Structure 1
Amino acid sequence: MDMLSAGLFWERRDVPGSEHVRLDTRNGLYARGTALAAAPVGYTCRYEIQTDPGWTTARLDVHTEGAGWARGVRLELAAGRWRVTTSEQGDLDAALVAAGHARAGLPGIEDPDLLYGAFDADLGGSPLTNTLPIRRLGLLESDTDVSHRLSVAWVRVPSLEVIQADQIYTPLGGNTVRFASETFAADLTVDDEGFVLDYPGLARRVAPDVRPAAGFS
């Protein structure tokens, strides 16, 4: 297994949980991460993500598991089209209903062509994937208060449903980027490399960590 010498750690602010990721940024992004959360049911989420040198998502593998269930989804982008494969064991719905929540949808997406035009994958609950459009679009160096509307492949966690979602990123100057969807908005504080320091209402980065930098090895 390759050793990844940069690492980031976040604590969740919405539910008890945390996320730890090891990564390399020498040729785009390669990252392996683990997230833990206590809601809507207790789960572990393990993921692996690879972008091309321009930070367009090339592949995202995600696996979630909890008591009595496990799910997986793999997204791959090639020639502008997404391929989505899934796996499922046990009964996540039973765990959700027992916890007082609605049943989940199936992992994946019925028609991957609905994702056509999306260049970023967004993993629900993970502050890491907000960095992808920030770096791909060069938002920390671009004009402030100019909004960028994106179509993304949004992966819901823990169900691993994949949904086409419209999102808006707006650089506000300095190290602040506004993230918005149809029903939500937050001003993200990021470091000089575009990795989230503070995502109000979701996660906050905590020490100790090793910040990635250009040419990090």
Structure 2
Amino acid sequence: MLPSSLFWQRKDTAGSEHVLADTADGLYASGTALAVDPIPYTCRYELRTGPDWATGFFDVSAEGAGWSRGVRLELAAGRWRVTTAERGDLDKVLSSAGHAGAGLPGTEDPDLLYGAFDVDLGGSPLTNTLPIRRLGLHTAAGDEIGVAHRLSVAWVLLPSLEVVQADQIYTALGAGRVRFANETFSADLSIDEDGFVVDYPGLAARAGDPGPQRAG
């Protein structure tokens, strides 16, 4: 039984994400995400960080009509170990729906993820909290406001579960806002006092839950 519940409604497509979480010692989260684009799928995941909020374990699965995939990421001594599973033919399902084929789940070269301490699940507001908390951006003040932090993440694409290295930039703006950016995109996220996303413009907004509860 986990003490916190978070629920987001997608803005960009029909979908949602529900997460049960415990923040007593870093983050333990168990989540389910649903979406209809590019094809209907259900994603389930389990995520654990250390007390410093660096990701140590991420196990995620995705499934739809006629296919299922899984990938597990485990960080040890700065290097990622990647384990994958696949059933059915996602490429065939995507092609029949008029979409391009998907890459294989996981990555052929985990060393490309060296130096990444956060995972980013496609379409998930929950995983934005990982660098926000790890870098202390939710409590940034004074000279820390406006400082851009460039980082490398393990980006897990949905529904393929392909894992790619991605460069991202996080900047504390103060007043419960953090700017997320990459080479082609930027969004100012509204966050609560614990660093969890309340509103992600164009992607998702929190709804229907009281948010995380502080321990003690």
- The one-letter amino acid paired with 1:175 is G
TM-score, normalised with respect to structure 2:
0.97
CA distance in structure 2 between the aligned counterparts of 1:18 and 1:107, rounded to whole angstroms:
22
Match of 1:44 among 42, 45, 50: 42
Runs of 4+ in structure 1 off by over 3 angstroms are none
User: Percent of pairs identical after alignment?
Assistant: 69
- The one-letter amino acid paired with 2:53 is W
Match of 1:27 among 22, 25, 28: 25
Cα deviation for residue 140 of structure 1 reads 2.1
Match of 1:139 among 134, 137, 140: 137
Question: What corresponds to 1:210 in structure 2?
Answer: 210
- The one-letter amino acid paired with 1:99 is A
Question: What corresponds to 1:126 in structure 2?
Answer: 124
TM-score, normalised with respect to structure 1:
0.96
Cα deviation for residue 174 of structure 1 reads 1.0
Contact 1:118 1:153 in 2 (8 A): yes
Question: What corresponds to 1:11 in structure 2?
Answer: 9
Unpaired stretches in structure 1, ≥5 consecutive residues: none
Question: What corresponds to 2:110 in structure 1?
Answer: 112
1:52-131 equivalences in 2 (<5 Å): 52-131=50-129
Cα deviation for residue 214 of structure 1 reads 3.4
Cα deviation for residue 211 of structure 1 reads 1.9
List per-residue Cα deviations over 1:135-165 (Å, max 9, x = no partner).
0000122211100000000000110000000
Contact 1:19 1:33 in 2 (8 A): yes
RMSD: 0.8
Cα deviation for residue 115 of structure 1 reads 0.4
Cα deviation for residue 98 of structure 1 reads 1.3
